[in-house]
Amino acid sequence: MLIRRALLAGGAALAAPSLGRAQSFPERPVRFVVPYTAGGGTDITARKVAEGVGPLLGQPVIVENRSGANTAVGAEYVARSRPDGYTLYFAGGSSVVEPPLVWKGRLSYSWADFAPVSLVLKQPYGLGASPWAARDLPDFIARMKATPGGYSYGHTGTGGIGHLVGERLMAATGTRMLSVPYRGFQQTVVDIIGQRLQATCESVNNIVPFHRDGSVRVLGITSDVRVPQLPDVPTFAEQGLPSMSVMSWLAVLAPLGTPAPILARLNQAVRQVVDSQGFRDYALTQVQFAESSTPEGLAAYMAKDVEEWRRVIEPLDLKVD
């Protein structure tokens, strides 16, 4: 449905007036709306992309932070904006895919309200455990099976990607852990070190320093390949859990109905920046993988992501406020 709607919107945009607008686009600054506060990882990445895209478009690209309501403030703002290419969404699955599935119709937007421009990067998650809780992933799984519900894992919010990665792990291994939401990642580390919590599911970039100092042991990574910062840590797929190959991602999106020629103009600029060696090197320092796409490629990727997370989320009957 997402791909069909995007293509229909693109087809309708080929009328002469749209072509005229695309030929002169952009005539004023373009905005990247980020659904998080300034200074965070997504905000920093958005500013790096904006810095490169601006000269290619011949207009400044301004990053605007609209945080709140678990990213719904920013998402709704862009979804309702004029589809003219000047207001874009710099976000990912944690904003446009998982929340509509978790909140089940309580949001005024869904992934189908956005026209894909280009993928920007993918980010792996890891299972970080206390060294006293398990030697490795097989040991961790064996202990969970021996004491159902006896292990707990921390994450930064029910319905968030860290929580859902844990649910995905339990579904793949036939185990149960106690899900414990925290206000932030740092507190989960404090409780792991204090032996009040066995594990956490978190972006690999956040866990790397604690793995290196031995306070947290990364047992598996959700990417298809090992990350250079942790060459000793195998992926989940290497350990017999291919269904755990899942990545968080960031992309540039536009309101549905944005003319196809304008999407193509934006796509060309974003891809040139994302494919540059400088941006690829930057992404790797953050344990991320730079990856661009066509609008059609991103539409297909989003549709696949929606279905994969739907299979994880729908059976959970999550109770979220």
pLDDT per residue as tens digits for the range 272-294: 999 999 999 999 999 999 999 99
**Tokens 């344990």 correspond to what residue?**
287
Second CATH level (architecture) for the domain 2-123+246-316: 3-Layer(aba) Sandwich (3.40)
pLDDT of 160 reads 87
- Confidence class of residue 183 from pLDDT cuts 50, 70 and 90? confident
For residues 181-208, give the mean pLDDT: 92
β-partners of residue 31 are: 62, 87
- Peptide linkage before 295 cis (omega within 30 of 0): no
Distance CA 18, CA 22 (A): 6
Q: pLDDT tens-digit profile of 60-119?
A: 999 999 998 889 999 999 999 999 999 999 999 999 999 999 988 789 999 999 999 999
275 within 8 A of 292, measured Cβ to Cβ: yes
Instruction: Specify the pTM.
Output: 0.87
Domain at 124-244: CATH code: 3.40.190.10
**Tokens 């739907």 correspond to what residue?**
310
Q: pLDDT tens-digit profile of 123-153?
A: 999 999 999 999 999 999 999 999 988 999 9
Joined tokens for residue 18: 């749209």
pLDDT at 14 over 50: no
Q: Answer yes or no: same fold for 2-123+246-316 and 124-244.
A: yes
- Treating both helix axes as pointing N-terminal to C-terminal, what angle do 137-146 and 161-173 enclose, rounded to 10 degrees? 70
More confident residue, 303 or 157: 303
How far lies 158's CA from each of 171, 177, 246, 296, 308, in Å? Answer: 16, 14, 18, 31, 18
pLDDT of 74 reads 96
305 within 8 A of 110, measured Cβ to Cβ: no
pLDDT of 20 reads 57
- Treating both helix axes as pointing N-terminal to C-terminal, what angle do 260-274 and 41-57 enclose, rounded to 10 degrees? 110
pLDDT of 292 reads 98
Secondary structure (DSSP) of 83-152: SSSSEEEEEEHHHHTHHHHHHTT-SS--GGGEEEEEEEEEEEEEEEE-TTT-SSHHHHHHHHHHSTT--E
pLDDT of 86 reads 98
Amino acid at 27: E
- Domain residue extents for the chain: 2-123+246-316, 124-244
Q: At 17, which helix (H) or strand (E)? A: helix 16-24
Q: pLDDT tens-digit profile of 207-247?
A: 999 999 999 999 999 999 999 999 999 999 999 999 999 99
